[in-house]
Amino acid sequence: VMTDLIESIAMQERALSHIVNAESEKMQAIINMDTVSTQQLLQLNQSVEHMINAAARLETVLQAKLELSNQECNINEEEVDS
């Protein structure tokens, strides 16, 4: 069970890295447009801000899952030592 939890965290981290990379590529494409407007740049900024906030919330959840797995591991070690 512990391995599954840690593996799920790793998979979510990997997925998050792909999302961030895709957002970066989108940003580069828009910024490099010859006819990019100020409005488009502001919309891009807002989109990136939303994505970063969502990623930060997910990171908080993943951190909590990792801490839970560490606590569970410590409890299991204490049971073995007893």
Q: What is the mean pLDDT of residues 15-28?
A: 93
Task: Give the residue carrying structure tokens 């990136």.
Answer: 48
pLDDT digits (tens, 9 = 90+) for 26-69: 999 999 999 999 999 999 999 999 999 999 999 999 999 888 88
Kindly report whether the global pTM for this prediction surpasses the value 0.75. Answer: no
- pLDDT of 82 higher than 70: no
Mean pLDDT lowest among 1-5, 12-16, 64-68? 1-5
What distances in angstroms separate CA 36 from CA 31, 33, 44, 58, 75, one per listed residue?
7, 5, 11, 31, 56
Cα–Cα distance, 21 to 30 (Å, whole number): 14
